Amino acid sequence: MRKLKDLLLDRSGNFAVAAALVALPLCLVLGVAIDLTSAVTWKSRLQELADSAALAAIESDGGDEEAVAAAKNIALGNGSFAVGGVVEVDITTPTPVSREAAVEITASMPTDFMNLAGIRAISLHVTAKARKAPPEYCIYALDPESTGALSVTGLGKVSVPNCGIQVNSSSPEALRHVGAGKIAATKISVVGNYQGGGYSVSPKTNQPFLADPLVTTPEPVPPTGCDYSNQALSDVTIPAGRVFCGSIDFGGKIVLSPGVHYFHNAIVGISNNAKITGKEVTIFVDSKSSIIQAGGNGAMELSAPTSGVYTGIAIFGSRTALPLLPTISLAINKNYWVNGTIYSPMHHLKMKGTNDKKLATGLGWIVAWQFSYNGDSSVNLDGYSGTPPKGLGDAAIALLQ
């Protein structure tokens, strides 16, 4: 056997030892590179999951809990390749009519080669944020030809600070403003022209005609028969699904149970002492029905459904056109709010603000054949914090990061 001294003096033996000593760290370096490349690939896949989860949360039709569940289902259901995946979802509303979803995913990737150096896993962390911004318009006046299709008179203020106003009429005075009040919006678009001043931004004329944004939402169909006909109702709780016909007078405390309530061939009066409340409610008003609220001392507190076909719609007017335009007339005051959208595509929506100078908030969007406001108080028409009806909020979803 050759002695160690001879081996060290032998050039070929010296090279073999050197090669053996260099091979181990070289293999480790190559292994680390492979593991790190895999980690980059895994992180990219996790980022795609986080993006998809954030968008799923924003696109969810339900409330915050449903949005969180939708995001986690996407992330956890498709992230099985990662180890110990944890998904955190946060839903916020930075403005009353916008919604953000932040998704954070942490996971571990087992190593193949770095394990030899005692590094058993690489921690991965990704974030994504998506936003549903306000719809471009909060008020639509659908009438294509009438003068004053949208009109505001008096000392009060109609405000849609987060979105715009669309007036479809081609009339030279399609939009009318008379008085010392204000009309405030991010943009005002008119197919025809406008009259008056007091606008927060100059209305743009000769703008494109816009179709009814909620036209694809199915119209409620009232059950056969009448549950209440030519009656005065006071201090009563009304079950969902009931049909009101003829002359209906509401007084005292009226509680509407969650669901759809139908007005069929009805003239509905709301007296000064009435207090109408309802959560998760949609009121359907057919083409031969009108709602008239007398005075401004009554109270109305309604909130639209947060899920289902009529999500975000508090009042739904029929699309059937008649020679005589029906009216929905509401006298708003400090005790009045409709937390949802008023959709009356073939009704003239009239709102009158009392002189208590209170700001009526909570309203979602208005889509009406004609819309007019008269009064001395201010009304904020885009204070709705819930999910907008499909058609109003679908076009403003984007990833922020």
Q: What is the pTM of this model?
A: 0.73
Q: What average pLDDT does range 313-341 have in this prediction?
A: 85
Burial class (CB in 10 A: 0-12, 13-18, 19+), 66: middle
3-state secondary structure of 71: helix
Domain-embedded: residue 376: yes
Same domain, 122 and 141: no
pLDDT in tens, 352-400: 876 554 445 456 789 999 999 887 777 777 656 566 676 665 556 778 7
Residue 150 pLDDT exceeds 80: yes
* Domain contains 401: no
In a domain? residue 400: no
Asked whether residue 247 carries a pLDDT value surpassing 80, the answer given is yes
Among residues 319, 380, 393, 385, which one has the least CA distance to residue 353? Answer: 380
Q: Strand pairing of 121-132 and 99-110? A: antiparallel
- The number of beta carbons lying within 10 Å of the beta carbon of residue 88 is 14
Same domain, 95 and 141: no
Instruction: Say if residue 105 is in the same domain as residue 154.
Output: no
**Nearest to 283, CA basis, from 370, 352, 213, 222:** 222
Of 112, 132, 152, the last residue of a domain is: 132
Q: Is 395 exposed, middle or buried (0-12, 13-18, 19+ CB in 10 A)?
A: exposed
pLDDT band of 315, cuts 50, 70, 90: very high
Q: Place 11 in a pLDDT band, splitting at 50, 70 and 90.
A: low
Does 61 have pLDDT greater than 50?
A: yes
Between 55 and 229, where is the model more confident?
Answer: 229
Work out the mean pLDDT of the chain and round it to a whole number: 83
Domain membership of residue 236 (yes or no) is: yes
Domain endpoint, select from 132, 167, 193: 132
Which pLDDT score is estimated for 339?
83
pLDDT of 158 > 70? The answer is: yes
Domain that holds residue 198: 137-395
In this structure, the answer to whether residues 127 and 146 fall within a common structural domain is: no
Q: Are residues 147 and 114 in the same domain?
A: no
Q: Considering the domain boundaries, does residue 326 fall inside one?
A: yes
Say if 19 falls within a structural domain. yes
- pLDDT score of 171 more than 80: yes
Q: How far apart are CA 149 and CA 337, in angstroms?
A: 23
Task: Tell the burial category of 224 from Cβ atoms under 10 Å away from its Cβ (0-12, 13-18, 19+).
Answer: exposed
**269/364 same-domain check:** yes
Cα–Cα distance measured from residue 59 to residue 76, given in angstroms and rounded to the nearest whole number: 18
pLDDT for res 107: 86
Tell me what the mean pLDDT of segment 222-233 comes to: 95
The band of 25, judged by pLDDT with boundaries at 50, 70 and 90, is: low
pLDDT surpassing 50 at residue 203:
yes
CA 197 distance to own-chain centroid: 31
Dump strand ranges (E) for 188-258: 188-190, 194-195, 228-238, 243-256
Return d(Cα 80, Cα 12) in angstroms, integer: 51
Query: Are 276 and 355 members of one domain?
Result: yes
**How does pLDDT run across 73-122, given as a tens digit for each residue?**
888 887 666 667 788 888 776 665 677 889 998 888 888 777 777 788 88
Q: Based on the domain organization, do 221 and 338 belong to the same domain?
A: yes
Q: Are residues 52 and 101 both part of a single domain?
A: yes
Higher pLDDT, 330 or 240: 240
> Looking at per-residue confidence, does 97 or 267 come out higher?
267
**293 or 148: which carries more pLDDT confidence?**
148
Domain membership of residue 17 (yes or no) is yes
Look at residue 267 and tell me if it is in a domain. yes
Q: What is the rounded average pLDDT of the residues 154-181?
A: 90
pLDDT value at residue 357: 44
Question: What whole-number percentage of the chain has pLDDT above 70?
Answer: 80
Name the domain count of the chain.
2
* Predicted local distance difference test score (pLDDT) of residue 194: 97
In a shared domain, residues 375 and 236 = yes
> What pLDDT, on a 0 to 100 scale, did the predictor assign at position 353?
72
Strands (E), 239-353: 243-256, 259-270, 275-278, 281-285, 290-293, 299-303, 313-317, 327-332, 336-353
Is 70 exceeded by the pLDDT of residue 207?
A: yes
Are both 49 and 74 inside the same structural domain? yes
> Is residue 296 predicted with pLDDT exceeding 70?
no
Give the residue-averaged pLDDT of 332-339: 72
104 and 145, same domain (yes or no): no
Which of 115, 132, 149 is the last residue in one of the domains?
Answer: 132
